[in-house]
């Protein structure tokens, strides 16, 4: 009986047209419905009173933007749970991030939402206005129920969450101190910023393979070549993350000609609309291309090949970069340096940035192509830095030292007002210039890919640091960003403001 209520969204049009021809009023509810509770049932009962037939659509798993550990139940289980309710007449899965396709297919007389959607400004996605317009365009209208409210996210956080005790304790403290609206206001404050971003472009190629065994005459893995994808990484990824949170991003970097391609079109096609890219062409120097050979099933990286020219920039190119930086640096609120140690950030450029930036945020990354040669300590003046634990140990030439002491030493060396050091599975340490720090645990241990997670953390926390957010706010938002970023393979997509706010709302539930 339950399964007979579940229909393909593409095939429901004729069903409801037929019901309408018989004088039936169609009522439509839409949502995630991850954990069915008393509030949902009261909402459905109240909604049914608007008409005769209640159809409930739910968002397919890929489009549930409530954080990296949601939905708790997959869409098939959620559909079955809804269909088991007597008050519900039809159920369909909506294969779209928005409810609009479902509304267009069903053409309800009444599209029903709970009272928490009455104030459209509270809907961070802005979707409720589009849903209202779609309902009216199809001859119906948007109406609201006034029933008691519960939260699936709150119930899952309390009883089903797999976060450790430290993370739960920290989040309880955040909930007691801050509201969701506090963070929306914080993001509104940074939205007017103009940001200059400088650093190395990296193209991340993922060549997927299917390992089939060892070669017969050598200790070599044999694999069948599969699909490949190229993602906009390095400073491109940083620019894309930042651009979804601010008014304007100015990106200055170099690009060149590689053995097989000149990737100009790919770079342009993968930049956020708010990014203005000011390039310097280096015909003798290729764009850095990192090709990772990846097991297509388990996503294990087998090895990596880098196309790079590891040499100094020509003085002419360096001069051109400096001229372009000087044209824009004074008009930007923040100058953000994504220094991957591949040659774009020279000592002369560092001096220009340190002397002219209104606010300087820095990352100096250690990777296999620059190990030991690209340390944070080449910057003796910045306002904020974000690096990882390994980079911190290298910067002070101390393999085993206490991280609190190391962070304090780096703050003094760079004259930073505030800093972040990411600690992997142990969370994040954020420290102010007076040596006070907070260590915040991770929110998600389910990792797809760590590539780009530190860049995402740097991107958003730099904006918060410039706006004088507290170390607690920076660590909370930064770890939320990190939890989202490790669920993205490579730099396939960037952190969106709407998605981050939805995740923050879930964490605060």
CA distance 475 to 473: 6
Per DSSP (E only), the strands in 236-317 are 248-256, 275-282, 288-295, 301-307
Helix (H, G, I), strand (E, B) or coil at 185: helix
Percent of the chain with pLDDT over 70: 94
Closest CA to 332 of 481, 463, 200: 463
More confident residue, 450 or 385: 385
The domain locations on the chain are 3-159, 184-198+234-287+311-508
- What residues contact residue 12 under an 8 Å CB cut-off, 6+ apart? 55, 90, 92, 105, 106
Is pLDDT at 120 greater than 80 in this prediction? no
Tokens of 88: 């519900």
Question: What residues are paired with 229 via a beta bridge?
Answer: 206
Region 161-178: mean pLDDT is 85
| 71 — pLDDT class (breaks 50, 70, 90) | confident
CATH topology for 184-198+234-287+311-508 is 3.40.1190
More confident residue, 246 or 283: 246
CA distance 446 to 35: 21
CB 287 within 8 A of CB 261: no
Tokens of 41: 């049932």
Is pLDDT at 135 greater than 60 in this prediction? yes
HSE-CB at 101 with a 13 A cutoff on CA atoms is 14
Is pLDDT at 124 greater than 70 in this prediction? no
CB 471 within 8 A of CB 437: yes
Say what the pLDDT of residue 161 is. Answer: 59
Mean pLDDT of the chain: 92
210-242 pLDDT per residue, tens? 999 888 888 888 999 999 999 999 999 999 999
Is pLDDT at 157 greater than 60 in this prediction? no
Please state which CATH class domain 3-159 belongs to. alpha beta
48-58 pLDDT per residue, tens? 999 999 999 99
Is pLDDT at 493 greater than 90 in this prediction? yes
| 152 — pLDDT class (breaks 50, 70, 90) | low
Neighbours of 401 (CB within 10 A): 13
DSSP assignment of 472-493 equals: HHHHHHHHHHHHHHTTSSTTSS
CA distance 379 to 358: 16
Is pLDDT at 160 greater than 80 in this prediction? no
Say what the pLDDT of residue 150 is. Answer: 56
Neighbours of 155 (CB within 10 A): 17
CB 508 within 8 A of CB 180: yes
DSSP assignment of 395-425 equals: HTT-SS--HHHHHHHHHHHHT-SEEEEE-GG
Task: Show the CA angle centred on residue 248, arms to residues 497 and 418, nearest 5°.
Answer: 70
Is pLDDT at 491 greater than 80 in this prediction? yes
| 159 — pLDDT class (breaks 50, 70, 90) | very low
Say what the pLDDT of residue 430 is. Answer: 98
């Amino acid at each position: 009986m339950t399964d007979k209520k579940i229909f393909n969204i593409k095939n429901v049009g004729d069903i409801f047209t037929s019901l309408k021809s018989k004088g039936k009023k169609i009522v439509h509810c839409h949502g995630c419905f991850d954990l069915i509770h008393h509030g949902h049932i009261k909402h459905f009962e109240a909604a049914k009173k608007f008409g005769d037939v209640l159809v409930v659509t739910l968002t397919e798993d890929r489009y549930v933007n409530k954080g990296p550990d949601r939905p708790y139940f997959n869409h098939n289980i959620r559909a079955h749970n809804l269909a088991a309710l007597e008050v519900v007449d039809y159920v369909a899965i909506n294969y779209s991030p928005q409810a609009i396709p479902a509304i267009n297919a069903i053409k309800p007389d009444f599209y029903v939402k709970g009272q928490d959607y009455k104030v459209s400004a509270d809907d961070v996605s802005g979707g409720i206005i589009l849903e209202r317009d779609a309902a009216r365009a199809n001859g119906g209208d948007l109406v609201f129920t006034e029933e008691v409210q519960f939260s699936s996210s709150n119930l899952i956080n309390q009883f089903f969450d797999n976060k450790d005790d430290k993370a739960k304790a920290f989040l309880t403290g955040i909930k007691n101190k801050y509201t969701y609206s506090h963070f929306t206001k914080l993001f509104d404050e940074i939205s007017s910023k103009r940001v200059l971003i400088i650093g190395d472009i990296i193209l991340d190629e993922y060549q997927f393979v299917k390992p089939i065994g060892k070669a017969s005459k050598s200790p070599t893995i044999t694999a069948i070549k599969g699909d490949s994808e190229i993602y906009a990484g390095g400073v491109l990824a940083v620019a894309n993350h930042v651009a979804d949170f601010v008014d304007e991003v100015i990106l200055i970097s170099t690009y060149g000609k590689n053995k097989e391609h000149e990737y100009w079109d790919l770079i342009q096609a993968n930049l956020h609309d708010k990014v203005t890219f000011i390039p310097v062409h280096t015909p003798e120097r290729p764009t850095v291309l990192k090709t990772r050979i990846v097991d297509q099933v388990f996503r294990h990286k087998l090895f990596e090949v880098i196309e790079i020219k590891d040499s100094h920039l020509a003085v002419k190119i360096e001069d051109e970069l400096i001229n372009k930086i000087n044209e824009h640096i004074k008009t930007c609120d923040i100058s953000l340096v994504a220094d991957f140690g591949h040659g774009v950030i020279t000592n002369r450029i560092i001096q220009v940035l340190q002397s002219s930036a209104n606010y300087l945020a820095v990352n100096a990354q250690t990777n296999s192509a620059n190990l030991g040669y690209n340390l944070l300590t080449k910057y003796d003046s910045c306002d904020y830095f974000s690096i990882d634990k390994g980079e911190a140990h290298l910067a002070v030439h101390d393999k085993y030292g206490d991280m609190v002491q190391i962070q304090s030493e780096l703050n003094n060396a760079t004259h930073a007002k505030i800093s972040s050091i990411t600690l992997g599975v142990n969370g994040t340490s954020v420290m102010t210039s007076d040596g006070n720090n907070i260590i915040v645990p991770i929110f998600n241990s389910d990792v797809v890919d760590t590539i780009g997670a530190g860049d995402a953390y740097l991107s958003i926390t730099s904006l918060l640091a410039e706006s004088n957010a507290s170390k607690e706010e920076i660590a909370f938002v930064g770890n939320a960003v990190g939890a989202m970023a490790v669920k993205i393979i490579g730099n396939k997509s960037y952190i969106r403001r709407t998605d981050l706010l939805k995740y923050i709302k879930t964490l605060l539930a």
